[in-house]
Homo-oligomer: A and B are copies of this chain.
Amino acid sequence: MPTPQHDGGRVPTRLDGRATWLVSRAYARSSGLLGSGFETHGQGLRSYHYRLLAALEEWGPASQADLGRKTGIDRSDVTAALTDLESHHLIERSVDPAHKRRKIVTITADGVQRLLELDKVIDGVQDEFLAPLTPAQRRQLITLLSRLINPQH
């Protein structure tokens, strides 16, 4: 449980007006909450695992390289995370018969089930995370962040 730090103490004015600093603090808070959530209800899964399950559920079976591209996870990290998921029987790997160097990854029924459970955990974390904001402010924040990381619109 990597709980966020920086509980007390004033922050240097050099920092506390800068967007990069605020984002790093927000991320610390966010990942602290997510960490607690995964720790108590994630049964050993981490954010990489969730991302992969979500991609598989949404787009269906895919090769590992495709998964990496779609989720923004490095090929090597995909390998490791899938090995974890496979050992919990949440996904299955099979060699693509048409391209034998490729492996097709499929989410299992257990995997879907687990994904739905994680959805609930993560939705709870959203509420905690956004608690200081009103609903309108939450929508504003989400819009602004989307624009920030997705500049083409």
Contacts and interface: CB of A to CB of B under 8 A. Distances in A.
Interface string A4-27: 011011111111111110111111
Interface size class of A (residues with CB under 8 A): 35 or more
Contacts of A33: 20
A22 B133 contact: no
Nearest to A70: B9
Which DSSP category, helix, strand, loop or mixed, fits chain A's interface?
A: helix
Given A15-B54, A72-B9, A30 B24 contact: yes
Contact of A29 (B29, B55, B126, B148): B148
Interface stretch (A81-89, A90-98, A137-145): A137-145
Contacts of A5: 72-74
A132 B145 contact: no
Contacts of A51: 12, 15
Nearest to A14: B54
A51 to B, nearest CB: 7
Nearest to A34: B20
